Structure 1
Amino acid sequence: MSADRWRNPLRDPDDRRLPQIAGPCALVVFGVTGDLSRKKLMPAVYDLANRGLLPPSFALVGFARREWSDAEFADTVKDAVREHTRTGFDEAQWERLAQGIRFVEGSFDDDEAFDRLKKTLTELDIEHGTDGNHAFYLAIPPNAFPTVLAQLKRTGMAVSGRNQTWQRVVIEKPFGHDLHSARELNALVNSVFPEESVFRIDHYLGKETVQNILALRFANQIFEPLWNSHYIDHVQITMAEDIGLGGRAGYYDGIGAARDVIQNHLMQLLALVAMEEPISFSPRELQVEKIKVLSSIRNIEPLAQHSARGQYGAGWQGSEHVDGLVDEGFPADSTTETFAAIAVEVDTRRWAGVPFYLRTGKRLGRRVTEIALVFKRAPHLPFDESMTAELGQNAMVIRIQPDEGVNLRFGSKVPGTSMEVRDVNMDFSYGEAFTVSSPEAYERLLLDVMLGEPSLFPVNEEVELSWSVLDPVLAHWAGADEAGDTPEHYAAGTWGPECADEMLALTGRVWRRP
């Protein structure tokens, strides 16, 4: 049965209110023994099955160097699912899913292993009904991409067959190390898979609150008229983590906060906030509008004053005293930043003159990701200064995690006989407004891969445009390192280095303390 015929013929394919069920297919995961697979991918596959969004003819194939049988791999997946499932473990549902679980032992340069993988997929197509549709998930280091892609090309597994079958590849970030390497990576991937078959995972785009940005803007008349430079003073986009590097020091050195978060997550959030209304919500129209924004971004000069970076030291994370970067195994002479902030502008009529401040860091005050649109002050306040001493600027804050929702801050009179105005908050929380918990980002994204729905996946041009914004900042920091101007230290549990505060203080602004 083909993927198209699997879908309910009574269902309108354009009706997005109804759940879409994936057609017959196999998901092949390279790097299946890693944390990403154990904590995110395997539980997401099970949760999709538990929600009835995977067909009986779905198969999961693991590829790794472990000497596992199919049953031993299934037990490993089962343990991961029990520990991390969102929807609760059901033995009957697990047994149905386990019927399609297979394992192939081998290394990436092992021709025989990939020949066995092809044989396994052929058997699943015939015996389990996966129908020739295969998605290859590269949850592996980027330096292993060329070998795996070459093997998929050599064996013919990357080539779609007849009867509208499909072959797709899923790539985890980072998408390159800079613009040059991103272009090389894109060319490599596209030499094996056409661009429409490439799905670059940015898990932030799978979060419900990120998708709600579009609904918030374009389904409501009250917000969109204010969403421009006439009313908005500046925008702050923050992704803060309260954890340190721990055992990831070796991986993180040479990458840093800017490459790890700003180039992908924060640039994509900026694009969704700043984009114009698309003609429709088709993947192509969304990508067109995001590309327009990314093409319009420019760094605010001079970079020495409008960028900041730092490395965390020891300090207090709540009531716990935590080690600094070097004590966690980071090289003492490394200049890789754990905090990064940049200031950019979007050169369009809507946003001319509005700075966008992007920041991310580890060992900050708390774990939070948010977008804050800070409004200009009222041009005239008919109050004495003492009446509004505690009044700040109006703000709309979109909370991405952990407490998903939207907050509006505005001025209100304090009860009493005197006229005193101070800030109050109007809060919308997903957890309180909806009885259904939000799916994990990887559930939505894996399902979209199987459905061939690319709306939430950055294309080549988006990746390269994001690097073109960040590359000058990285080059400036490299030059500063050579001159002895290394990242500034900040204590764990604070909100970053002083140079980040100075960056906003130049224009009389301050960072939010979420």
Structure 2
Amino acid sequence: MTEKRALFIIFGGSGDLAQRKLYPALYGLYYQGRLAKHFAVIGTARRPWTDDHYHDVIKQSLVGAPGSAHQKAEFADHFYYQSHDVTDAAHYVTLRDLAAKLDQQYALDGNRVFYMAMAPRFFATIAEHVKSEKLLSDKGFNRLIVEKPFGRDFASAKQLNDDISQAFTENQIYRIDHYLGKEMVQDIMPLRFANPLFEHVWSKDFIDNIQITLAEDIGVEERAGYYETAGALRDMVQNHIFQIIAMLTMEKPVKYDAPSIHAAKRAVLADIKPYTPAQVHANFVRGQYVGGDNVGLSYREEDNIASDSTVETYVAGRVDIANDRWQGVPIYLRTGKKLAEKQSRIDIVFKPTENNILPTAGDTSVGSDVLTLIIEPETGMHLTLNGKAIGVSDAVSPFTLDHALDQDELAKAPEAYQRLMLNILEGNKLTFTHWQELAASWHFIDAIRTVWDNDGADGLAFYNSGTMGPREADELLARDNRQWVWQGPAAD
């Protein structure tokens, strides 16, 4: 195992993202030996912390992680804190001097990773000063990590991209979508392209529809301020769901490398045409949760939420791809808060057998084969097939082949951020989002957002917390003579 060398400069080093995700992810690499002696981290934020206090914060973020207290203390000793005003050029000079000192102290070969774990409104300012105050290394690599939300619409996303591109090239920019680091999302390409069983039937000729569900059982909690400006469409559909769609539907890349995979994803996303207003009304549903006995507050009653808010906490929709492989195959998506159960899954529904000659067990037709990828909270897949019913009957009945990762296997699977941080150190952009992919998804999302903003409260469907969402989402499929494969925990 080769040790990685780099200096991490984390803007927003005192924040929630850094403490919940980044520090545990870096520690995971350290515990595995992928980071050892030759790394250092500078955390920057406005708070006037000392290095010793910063080390205590780091160690607190690792409670429950494997390893001894001594290992965690040695890890924390690689961290340095600088109180920093991102608008003050003089602070970047201090940061540059500290970076140069640590580069020499830890023999980092000039490799630098800049992580923007702050609000996007600061990204342009940080990028400008990183360039003007000469923090970019001239002998190692320079890599910029950008978190979502990447803009509020295409125009703001393009402006943001133009701003950071003044200091960093596209090859140096890593736009994180943590869903791309999840184990079963990573398994989509091997499943599709390493198995003739699936590769040769992955098209409109054999697939009836695709369903993507990203369901949460919690409300907005501490994210109310952000959620009022985003909503479920921007928060989940524009990024996570569109990236999953691209991986499920892209053509086979010419090579298994980042440029080829991004080219394949861009091509299929270009075949998803933005909807007209009439098509938005026909193909997308927006909802908002309401409370009641034992299920908590309604969205409008949450702290920092407007009492007449029309922000959606639920989205369901149909996406169509205008190309030869997928013409006529609907992709149904849904995501929401305060639903019956937390579950992220993909259901690939195959076309039923035509001219069935076999008797059935109480039904009038043979059911469809379904391939299900369970992303979280469990991790695994199911393949539902048709076979003979148990007993003396000759009737056809469904059965399921299950593959679920056990605890030992799950322990070997890195958490999404840990995998992504390793990819960044390796210079592997396969699991990150290219600007042109973002642009394509924003064009589609903007068309929906514009219609909903113009509609105001009209068309907003309310659903009870603890259910599977508004009935309009079921009706969306029912009009096509289909239904959601996953009906919620009561059906399992």
Which category of TM-score, normalised to the shorter sequence, fits these structures?
A: over 0.9
Counterparts of residues 326-405 of structure 1 (less than 5 Å):
326-329=300-303, 330-383=305-358, 387-389=362-364, 392-405=367-380
Provide the residue aligned with 2:460 in structure 1.
Answer: 487
Within 2, Cα distance between the matches of 1:354 and 1:207? Answer: 26
> Residue 78 of structure 1 aligns with which residue?
59
Worse-matched range after superposition: 283-292 or 406-415: 406-415
**Deviation, structure 1 residue 420:** 3.5
Instruction: Compute the displacement of 1:383 (Å).
Output: 4.2
Kindly indicate whether residue 221 of structure 2 is the aligned counterpart of residue 246 of structure 1: yes
Distance in 2 between residues matched to 1:312 and 1:265, nearest whole Å: 21
Query: C-alpha displacement at 1:299, in angstroms?
Result: 5.0
Contact 2:295 2:466 in 1 (8 A): no
SS in 2 for 1:156: coil
Judging changes above 3 Å, is the alpha-carbon distance between structure 1 residues 374 and 299 closer, same or farther for their aligned structure 2 residues?
farther
Q: CA RMSD in A?
A: 1.8
Q: Are 1:323 and 2:267 matched, yes or no? A: no
Q: 1:331 to 1:391 in 2, by over 3 A?
A: farther
Equivalents in 1 of 2:391, 2:408: separation in Å? 32
Partner residue of 1:190? 165
Distance 1:299 1:503 in 2: 18
Aligned equivalent of 2:35: 54
Partner of 1:497: 470
Cα deviation digits, residues 168-216 of structure 1 (max 9, x gap): 1100001111111111111111011111110101001111211111111
Residue in 2 that maps onto 1:176: 151
1:20 positional shift: 5.2
2:359–2:394 Cα contact (<8 Å) kept: no
Displacement of 1:249 in angstroms is 1.2
Counterpart of 1:498 in structure 2: which amino acid? R
SS in structure 2 of the partner of residue 104 of structure 1: strand
Aligned to 1:8: none
Which moves more between the two structures, 488-497 or 295-304? 295-304
Are 1:510 and 2:483 an aligned pair? yes
Determine the structure 2 residue equivalent to 1:132. 110
Note if contact 2:212-2:241 (Cα within 8 Å) is conserved in structure 1.
Answer: yes
- For 1:277, the equivalent position in structure 2 comes to 252
Between stretches 262-271 and 436-445, larger displacement belongs to 436-445
Deviation of 1:486 (Å): 4.3
Worse-matched range after superposition: 335-344 or 417-426: 417-426
Distance in 1, Cα, partners of 2:7 & 2:386? 55
Q: Which stretch shows the higher mean deviation, 171-180 or 107-116?
A: 107-116
> Aligned to 2:189, which of 214, 220, 225?
214
Q: Distance in 2 between matches of 1:502 and 1:415?
A: 35
2:417 paired with 1:442 = yes
- Aligned-residue identity in percent: 35
Secondary structure of 1:108 counterpart: coil
Q: What CA deviation, in whole Å up to 9, does each residue of 1:338-396 have, x standing for no partner?
A: 00122111122211110111211111121111111111111122245664359532210
**Cα deviation 1:437-484 (Å, max 9, x = unaligned):** 310010111111122111111111111011111111111212222xx5
Structure-2 change in CA distance of 1:364 and 1:389 (3 Å): farther
Q: Does 1:261 align with 2:236?
A: yes
CA distance in 2, matches of 1:72, 1:432: 35
2:392 to 379, 404, 417: 417
| Counterpart amino acid of residue 96 in structure 2 | K
Structure 1 window deviating more from structure 2 (387-396 vs 252-261): it is 387-396
Structure 1 partner of 2:26: 45
Output the CA distance in 2 between the equivalents of 1:20 and 1:346: 42
- Any conservation in 2 of the 1:238–1:359 contact (CA below 8 Å)? yes
| Structure 1, 89-98 or 74-83: larger mean CA deviation | 89-98
Assess, with a 3 A threshold, how the Cα gap between structure 1 residues 294 and 21 changes in structure 2: closer, same or farther: farther
Residue 122 (str. 1) matches residue 100 (str. 2)? yes
Match of 1:304 in 2: 281
Query: Using the alignment, how far apart are the partners of 2:137 and 2:453 within structure 1?
Result: 44
Instruction: State yes or no: 1:150 paired with 2:150.
Output: no
Stretches of structure 1 lacking an aligned partner (at least 5 in a row): 1-18
Tell me the distance in 1 between the aligned counterparts of 2:387 and 2:39. Answer: 56
Contact in 1 for aligned 2:127/2:166 (Cα 8 Å): no
Answer yes or no: is the 8 Å Cα contact 2:43–2:82 preserved in 1: yes
Q: Give the alignment partner of residue 8 of structure 2, picking from 12, 24, 27.
A: 27
Cα distance in 2, alignment partners of residues 497 and 363 from structure 1: 12
Provide the aligned length of Structure 1 versus Structure 2: 484
Q: Normalising to structure 2: TM-score of the pair?
A: 0.94
